[in-house]
Structure formats: C-alpha cells, structure tokens
Amino acid sequence: MIEFHNVTKRYPSGFEALNNVSLHLGDGQMAYITGHSGAGKSTLLKIIALIEKPTRGQALLNRINLNNLPRQRIPYLRRNIGIIFQDHQLLFDRPVFDNVALPLQIQGYRPQEVAKRSRAALDKVGLLHKEKSMPITLSGGEQQRVGIARAVVHKPMLLLADEPTGNLDPILSREIMQIFVDFNQVGVTVLVASHDLGLIEELDKPRLTLNAGQLILNDLDQGDAGGHDGWQ
C-alpha cells in the first residue's frame, strides 16, 4: 500500500524533516508512527496524503509514484485515503450529517446513497443520534468521532491519523484507537501517528519510530511486509 524508498524531505526553510526513510506498509496492515515532537511524523503522513512532496527518494501509494503526480490527479488519489486530524477539521457552519456526507458528495454519490452511508458511518462511531447537531455543540471526543466518520464514510483503503487522541482523556483515547483497530480488522490499512506510548503498548501493533527525521525502529521489516493482498 505504502512504499518509501530513501525518502528525504527538506522544507524550503532548509530544515530536513525526513532523512533517508524507507518503509513498506502492506495492504491491510496497521502501524503506529511514534517519535519525539518534531521527529517528522506529520511530515511522513503529509507525503502520503500528497500535501508535501519528497525532496529526494520515492514515495509510492498503491504503486503510484507520488513524486511527480499531475496536480489534477491528486483529488482522485486522495479519495482512496481517509484522513483524521488532531484538530478534526470539521466545518462548523453545517450539521454533523453534512460534514460526514461531504466526501460522498464530492465523489458524486446519489443522495439516497449519501444518506445511507453517512448514517452507517455515524452509527459506527456511535453518533447517529447527533446527526442533526451542529459540531460546535459536541464534546471534543464526539467531534473527533465525527471526524473519523467523515474519514471512513467513503470506505477508503487507507486511513491516516495524525495524533487523533491528542486532546482526549485516556478512556476516550482508548475508544478511538479501538475504532481504528476495528477498521483494520475489516481490511483497511491504517497508519496512526501518536506519542501516546502507553496506549500504543496496549494495542499490539507494529511501530515505526522516528528520531530527528530518521527511522530508528521499524517493526514492519520483521513482519510480513506484504500483508493480506485483499485489495485487488
């Protein structure tokens, strides 16, 4: 699903956020990215989400080279990814349902289909009863769950989450992480950046640890890098 070959990312400021990173996350695998603040976790996810481009090396998503993807293909590639942000990035001018429905509307699903799938996604995160609420009226954890519902509503093959539990208390954090594990169990590839080491220990999943832009620990190398090839 994701392949990095000697990826280096140097920001225009000259700062090298990733240094010669190679990794392979197979279809249907789940892994955590850990590391100190500023280690390059977000940068790694941004390269996969086509927000940043590698300065050197190759990044591939589903064997598509992300280095020189034409601009107009980026939206279509992103539709295969669900992104969850630390600050959930909900649109506060519309109710929960509309937030969750947005990816489907963008992809041109018909209204009946949009409604069906959006409700299913909200049900999955336990917020179906809040579909008509405005996001501002929800608690932090609920907002994060709405963000997750929006990220999974179009059944992406890949879920990226950057500090999804950053602002949440331990119990909520565990709940959220469990949702990711559930999605992984039904075949979605999941990559979560987090520095909540305690929680990561609990959930026995491979880890990628970054230190000052270098990948110093890669559990994936020992495992079956191919993963289940359930996405053909």
Partner 1 sequence: MAGSNVRRRKPPTANRISAYLLHHLQSLIFSLSKIYQAPATTIMTVAVIGITLSLPGGFYLFLKNIDAISGDFRSSTQISLYLDLKITEKKARGLEQYIRTMDHVASTRFISREQSLEEFRQSSGFGKSIDTLSSNPLPHTIVVEPGDSADTFTARNLLNRLQAMPEVEIAKLDTEWLERLYTIIEIAKRSVVIITILFAFAVLLIIGNTIRLDIQNRYQEIIVTKLIGATDAFIRRPFLYGGVWYGMLGGIISWLIVEIGYMAISGPLERLSLLYKSDMNLITYSFQDFIVLIACSTLLGLAGSWIAVARHLNQIEPT
Ligand X SMILES: Nc1ncnc2c1ncn2[C@@H]1O[C@H](COP(=O)(O)OP(=O)(O)OP(=O)(O)O)[C@@H](O)[C@H]1O
| Sites of contact with ligand X (CB under 6 A) | 11, 13, 15, 17, 35, 37-43, 195
Per-residue interface string for the shown chain with partner 1, residues 46-75, x marking contact by CB under 8 A: x--x-xx--------xxxx-------x--x
Element (H, E) at 82: strand 81-84
- Nearer residue to ligand X within complex by CB, 46 or 154: 46
* Sheet arrangement for strand 16-25: 16-25, 2-10, 56-61, 64-65
CB-CB contact of 140 with 148 (8 Å): no
Q: Residue 3 is encoded by which pair of tokens?
A: 């392949």
Q: Does 229 bind partner 1 (CB under 8 A)?
A: no
Where do we find the tokens 């999943």? 205
d(CA 123, CA 28): 23
The residue range among 43-51, 135-143, 168-176, 190-198 that interacts with partner 1, by the rule CB under 8 A, is 43-51
Min separation Cβ 39 and ligand X, Å: 4
Q: Does 118 bind Mg ion (CB under 5 A)?
A: no
Min separation Cβ 83 and partner 1, Å: 6
Phi (first) and psi of residue 78, to 5 degrees:
-65, -25
Q: Does 130 bind partner 1 (CB under 8 A)?
A: no
d(CA 95, CA 101): 10
Min separation Cβ 158 and Mg ion, Å: 18
Q: Does 43 bind Mg ion (CB under 5 A)?
A: no
Residue 6 partner contact from Mg ion, partner 1, ligand X, none using kind-dependent CB cut-offs of 5 to 8 Å: none
CB-CB contact of 151 with 83 (8 Å): yes
Q: Does 34 bind Mg ion (CB under 5 A)?
A: no
Binding partner 1 by CB under 8 A: which of 15, 36, 53, 91? 91
- Binding residues for partner 1, total number by CB under 8 A: 34
* DSSP structural state of residue 68: T
